[in-house]
Amino acid sequence: MAVLTWSLVAGSAARAQVVALQTPATTAVTSGNEGQGTSFEWRDAEPYGFAGPWKDGLAMASGLYQPPPSQPTRRPLLRRQRPNTISLGVQAAYGGVRGNSRLADGFSDGPGYAFRFRYMLNPSFALGFSFENHHWYDKGGVESTELGAGDSSVTMTTVSAEGVLFLHRESDVNPYFVAGFGHAAPDVVDELRGSTRVNEGIFLVFGAGIERFIRQRFSLDFTLRGNALVSNSELTTFATINGGIHLYPGD
């Protein structure tokens, strides 16, 4: 707030002096003669015993005062978006096998499980590692419990490296796509002849999934994955439906 003080001196031309009230920050003095322009002089107010963040009301009203630009406060990224975040998950699976290989000729479908690890490279992309175990029954159905029946099954372990692309990572529902490659080691387990390694080799994996967050660091994770394995000039394809949880430990 400013106080205007007028002084009239007799016998002389009308003369006015306007002195703004000294504020803790600055003092503004305005002086001028009739018919002449008006000039502003700003002085430091600290010699008058004032100091602080206050600004002169007259300067603000006249437009001479320009406040410093304000920087908007950035919200911290959610844990699932932060680069260098490591997360882990576990899933149950059910799938089947097809193709022209020995695996596909004698076996059909069965359960499995998987462990997933992800390393966030940026808010929407992660490098993933999967360790899976698949168990497929022969086409005759569930394994026989009778001694000497000769039933067999396949137990296959896989390890793969994957790229995971997330959509809408800022929301609680995140669709994502998976692509990568890995190594598969299938074993045919026969009750009479024991275990035999068949069709071991490199496979490609493609998939899509959805992650639904229940808490900031806990989610439900569902994935449909397809795999193609070529070994000994034979093609084996297998697909799985996976469902489980994913955890984002940390601060």
Local confidence pLDDT in tens for the 251 residues of the chain:
444 444 444 444 444 444 444 444 444 444 555 555 555 454 555 454 444 444 555 555 555 556 677 777 777 788 888 899 999 999 999 999 998 888 888 788 999 999 999 999 999 999 999 999 999 988 765 554 443 344 688 899 999 999 999 998 889 999 999 999 999 999 988 877 778 888 899 999 999 999 999 998 999 999 999 999 998 888 999 999 999 999 998 76
Select from 3.30.70.360, 2.40.160.20, 3.40.47.10, 1.10.357.10 the CATH code of 82-247.
2.40.160.20
Question: How is residue 242 written in tokens?
Answer: 């996976």
Q: Are the C-beta atoms of residues 179 and 206 closer than 8 Å to each other?
A: yes
CB neighbour list of residue 18: distance below 8 Å, 6 or more residues apart: 4, 5, 6, 29, 30, 31
At residue 50, the pLDDT reads 44
CB neighbour list of residue 151: distance below 8 Å, 6 or more residues apart: 138, 140, 143, 144, 190, 191
Q: Domain residue spans in the chain?
A: 1-69, 82-247
Cα distance between residue 169 and residue 113, in whole Å: 26
Task: Give the side-chain half-sphere CA count within 13 A for 116.
Answer: 26
Q: Are the C-beta atoms of residues 118 and 125 closer than 8 Å to each other?
A: no
Residue 120 burial by Cβ neighbours in a 10 Å radius (0-12, 13-18, 19+) = buried
The position carrying tokens 């080691």 is 185
Q: Are the C-beta atoms of residues 106 and 138 closer than 8 Å to each other?
A: yes
Cα distance between residue 133 and residue 155, in whole Å: 7
Burial 159-178 (b: 16+ CB within 10 A, else e): ebebebebeebeeeebebeb
Closest CA to 176 of 189, 162, 187, 188: 162
Q: Are the C-beta atoms of residues 165 and 177 closer than 8 Å to each other?
A: yes
